[in-house]
Amino acid sequence: MPHRFRLLRIALFAIIAWHIPGMNSQAQIQRLGLNLPTPNRAIFGPDYSQFYMYTNRSFEGRKSKPWQGGKYGYVRTPKRTAAGVLFTQFHEGIDIRPSALDRNNKPLDPVRSIASGKVTHVSNITGASNYGRYIVIEHDWGYGKFYSLYAHLAAVTCRTGQPVSPGTVIGKLGYSGTGLDRTRAHLHLELNMMISPRFQKWYSQHFTSPNRHGPYNGINLVGLDIAGLYLAHQRNPSITIPQFMSGMRVYWKVLIANKSTPALLKLYPWLARNMAEAKGNPSWEISLSSSGVPLAVTPSKKSVTAASVSWVAYSPTPHAWNTRSRLNGSKSSATLSASGRRYIQQLSGDF
Kindly report, residue by residue over 100-155, the tens digit of the pLDDT: 999 999 999 999 999 999 999 999 999 999 999 999 999 999 999 999 999 999 99
| Spatial separation of the C-alpha atoms in residues 336 and 276, rounded to whole Å | 29
| Contact of 117 with 137, CB cutoff 8 Å | yes
pLDDT in tens, 42-76: 999 999 999 999 999 999 999 999 999 999 999 99
Which sign, positive or negative, has the C-alpha torsion 181, 182, 183, 186? Answer: positive
**Rg of the chain over CA atoms, in angstroms?**
21
Q: Average pLDDT in the 229-252 region?
A: 98
Which among 188, 190, 194, 232 is positioned nearest to 214, based on CA atoms? 194
Angle at 288 between CA 225 and CA 16, to 5 degrees: 85
Pinpoint the residues of the chain covered by CATH 2.70.70.10.
Answer: 31-240
- Residue 263 binned pLDDT confidence (cut-offs 50, 70, 90): confident
Using a pLDDT cut of 90, give the percent of the chain over it: 89
Q: Average pLDDT in the 24-33 region?
A: 76
| Spatial separation of the C-alpha atoms in residues 213 and 207, rounded to whole Å | 14
**Given this model, what pLDDT does residue 11 score?**
45
| Spatial separation of the C-alpha atoms in residues 9 and 203, rounded to whole Å | 38
**Given this model, what pLDDT does residue 179 score?**
87
Task: Return the C-alpha torsion angle 154, 158, 164, 170, nearest 10.
Answer: -10
**Given this model, what pLDDT does residue 83 score?**
84
**Given this model, what pLDDT does residue 295 score?**
98
Name the helix (H) or strand (E) containing 154: strand 145-156
CATH class for the region spanning 31-240: mainly beta
**Given this model, what pLDDT does residue 289 score?**
98
Using a pLDDT cut of 70, give the percent of the chain over it: 92
| Spatial separation of the C-alpha atoms in residues 81 and 182, rounded to whole Å | 34
CA distances from 202 to 19, 75, 206, 279, 290 (A): 31, 29, 7, 28, 23
Q: Determine the 3-state secondary structure of 336 from DSSP.
A: strand
| E strands, 209-291, in order | 221-223, 252-257, 283-288
Which among 342, 347, 325, 343 is positioned nearest to 334, based on CA atoms? 325
Q: Determine the 3-state secondary structure of 74 from DSSP.
A: strand
Which sign, positive or negative, has the C-alpha torsion 109, 110, 116, 120? Answer: positive
| Spatial separation of the C-alpha atoms in residues 122 and 252, rounded to whole Å | 34
